[in-house]
Amino acid sequence: MGGGAGNATHHTAVSLARLGHYVHVLTARLPGQPAVETLDGVVVHRVPSFRRSIMHCGLLGAASYLLFALAALIRLGREHRYDVYQIYFGMPTGLLALYVHFVLKKPYVLALRGSDVPGYDYTNWYMAPLHRLLMPLTRFLWKHASSVTVLSRGLGALARRTCPDIETVVISNAIDSKVFPAKQPAAPAAPIRLLTVCRMVRRKGLNFLIDAMRELREDGIELELIGSGQESESVAQLIEQHGLGDCVTMLGYIPRDQLYRYYHQADIFVLPSLAESFGQVLLEAMSCGLPIVATTVGGIPETIRPERNGLLVPPGDAKAIVDAVRYLAARPALCDEIGRRNAAYVRDRYSWAAVAGQYEALYRRALAGTVDQPATLIEPRWAERGKSR
């Protein structure tokens, strides 16, 4: 996947199809992919997009996707007469809701994911002026949605700074515990291995984690970084600059169906984000039975409770990361207990079937109960199946 929204789109769409609904997905197309195919009961329509890479869309990628997606939406809307539209991201794909609202006159459910909410990502220099420019349109799209969903209460509170009178519904991400099974208990082994899986962008705070490794290497602790993005080169340079090549390994992109192997080889999962609406990788790591070290930002504290699921540290604080990792590394019995608890907690609480059920209730409310089996068209920014972040 390019990110959490693509993963959520796939699993939610498949779960809705299993409930008997007629589900189509409109998304961007990667080289070698068919323009239309049916996957697990879901019809996927793909359009061109001049994005920089699977991990980096950019303004050109977003603008080109909107143009091609609008043309496809006009055609598909006429052919299939969908009952309700699900749109992922308030911006840029939220702009497609204008056609849904004014021309098709159909209800739409808008899912806010993080970067589409003003004030979320201060590390991205062009987002703040872009949000200010589009503020009136943002408020219009949010107010006219039949429902606005958010990944966490924290993201909902941030959204209400822009539009105080909107009602938001929290629908978090979920996990497939069969894809991310709990690892088998094993005796502690040296060295302690840290793992981070994330998109390589500034808001992930990887520079602070690299800085923390300058001290943690003295304890024989190692770190593996999985993911790609526009900051990959600068992260690699930082590792080289500090001479950490012997204890920090960048593995790049790993297919999703292989990720669990790396979770199983790790002892502690670390996510040093400066901004995070939810943190899908936290569920993956917890499902695999890892204790967590993460930051007190966004929706993370709603998932991670100190010494129950792991430890929380202030964002941008390398020393706090060092202290938290050392605390857990010195307590293998506690790590084992937290890991077992995390695997059970995620398995019992976070399922895609439950997420689909929540969305189904919103669709029925939007249709006022007049349609027994509503068709849905899900509009993610990116929903390419089978990729890692």
Q: If pLDDT is split at 50, 70 and 90, which confidence band does 370 have?
A: very low
Query: Helix, strand, or coil here: 283?
Result: helix
- pTM for the model stands at 0.85
- The correct answer on CATH 3.40.50.2000 for the domain covering 193-348 is yes
CA angle 353, 358, 364 (to 5 degrees): 120
Per-residue pLDDT, averaged over 260-281, amounts to 94
pLDDT at residue 350 in the model:
92
User: Which pairing describes strands 42-47 and 36-39: parallel, antiparallel, or unpaired?
Assistant: antiparallel
Q: Which two tokens stand for residue 4?
A: 């959490």
**Residue 207 neighbours by CB under 8 Å, 6+ apart:** 235, 238
Q: Per-residue pLDDT tens for 25-52?
A: 999 888 888 999 999 999 999 998 876 5
Per-residue pLDDT, averaged over 292-305, amounts to 94
Q: Which two tokens stand for residue 68?
A: 């091609």
Q: Is 316 left (phi over 0), alpha (psi -120 to 50) or beta?
A: left
Asked if domains 4-174+351-379 and 193-348 share a fold, the reply is: yes
Domain ranges of the chain: 4-174+351-379, 193-348
Averaged confidence pLDDT in the chain? 89
Q: If pLDDT is split at 50, 70 and 90, which confidence band does 129 have?
A: confident
Per-residue pLDDT, averaged over 154-175, amounts to 93
> Is 327's pLDDT higher than 90?
yes
Burial class from Cβ neighbours inside 10 Å (0-12, 13-18, 19+) for residue 149 reads buried
> Is 176's pLDDT higher than 70?
yes
Per-residue pLDDT, averaged over 288-311, amounts to 94
Q: If pLDDT is split at 50, 70 and 90, which confidence band does 386 have?
A: very low
> Is 387's pLDDT higher than 50?
no
pLDDT at residue 289 in the model:
96
CA–CA dist 69, 185 (Å, integer): 48
Closest by CA to 270, choosing from 191, 186, 197, 345, is: 197
pLDDT at residue 381 in the model:
34
**Where does 10-83 show beta strands of DSSP type E?**
23-28, 36-39, 42-47
Q: Per-residue pLDDT tens for 130-145?
A: 888 889 999 999 999 9
Q: How many helices (H) and strands (E) does the chain have?
A: 13, 14
CATH fold for domain 4-174+351-379: Rossmann fold (3.40.50)
Looking at the chain, the whole-number percentage of residues with pLDDT higher than 90 is: 74
> Which residue has better confidence, 251 or 3?
251
> Is 250's pLDDT higher than 60?
yes
Q: Amino acid letter at 285?
A: A
